[in-house]
Amino acid sequence: MTEAAFRDLHAALRRTADATGDERRRGTLAHLTPARVAGAAAGVRHGRTVSLAAPIETRPGPDDPQPAVYRLTAPTARESGAPGVHFALDRFAMNVHGDAHSHLDALCHVVFDGELHGGLPESRLTSDGGRGLTVDLVRNGIVGPGVLLDVPRLRGVPWLDPGDCVTVDDLLAAEEAQGVRAGPGDLLLVRVGHRRRRRETGAWDAAHARAGLHPTCVRLLAERQVSVLGSDGNNDTAPSPVAGVPFPVHVLALHALGMHLMDYLNLDGLAGACAELGSWRFLCAVAPLRLPGATGSPVNPIAVL
């Protein structure tokens, strides 16, 4: 895709959004109505829960040069073995937007041409955090109908190789093969097999080589009024299929549409459960941390089938 074609698509998607600049608006979460949340809850049949997150890692690797820093701070040496009550305490810090752990991107995560989503100025981002469009917009969580599309299953392969793009045709064919259709308010999860490849072949520099969605897929998501997009990769392909524009899916989803993204989920367990139960729909609950000025948050989404 040329940069000119990308910019045309970006402009078209931006026109579909309510670009008022009101920092309180919910972007595509407006499609996730109370009735759709209630309908998803009513659709739970088995009471089976599946975590969609990968464990947070503390050792550096090719795709995680800045791993989480974890330290047990108590009991201290003086307290250890002493009589009475003591507490185990710990502390951890992390790069929210790393390439190894599962996280949610807030709408302020992407700056494009000096602007945030809705035309807000980049100056809203300061060393003290963001002002508007932060994770605080979803402080009450994101709960609604989830749909999983398993592209490696469709293609008959264990995973998509780095650099491969999921196309619109892939999404449509996966829907047909699985007997499901993503629609208004859905949290759409697209499996590319990133986690299985990492587990079986070892970590690699995913910042420069990974499977993801082609930017034209975002047009389909907008037409279907999908509320959230998630993947077991970064959602974006690397190298970028758009000349001169890195992370085009992030730019189109977060910046143009106001669609929250979830990156680097673990969808292998969910894929197995959905195949076993013969249903690719579920209730999905996402609970980001209460970080008012943050551009993202680690998450442990739960699918309930």
* Mean pLDDT, residues 168-173: 98
pLDDT of residue 48: 97
pLDDT at 19 exceeding the cut of 60? no
- The percentage of residues in the chain with a pLDDT greater than 90, rounded to a whole number, is 89
Contact 63/264 with Cβ under 8 angstroms? no
pLDDT at 284 exceeding the cut of 70? yes
pLDDT at 109 exceeding the cut of 60? yes
pLDDT of residue 18: 62
Contact 69/284 with Cβ under 8 angstroms? no
Question: Model-level pTM?
Answer: 0.94
pLDDT at 20 exceeding the cut of 70? no
Write the single-letter amino acid at 194: H
* Mean pLDDT, residues 47-52: 98
As separate numbers, helices (DSSP H) first and strands (DSSP E) second, the chain gives: 8, 15
The separation between CA 31 and the C-alpha centre of its own chain, rounded to angstroms, equals 17
Q: Are strands 302-304 and 142-150 parallel, antiparallel or unpaired?
A: unpaired
* Mean pLDDT, residues 193-207: 97
**266 class by beta-carbon count within 10 Å (0-12 exposed, 13-18 middle, 19+ buried):** buried
* Mean pLDDT, residues 97-120: 95
Supply the mean pLDDT for the chain: 95
Cis peptide bond N-terminal to 121, omega within 30? no
* Mean pLDDT, residues 44-48: 96
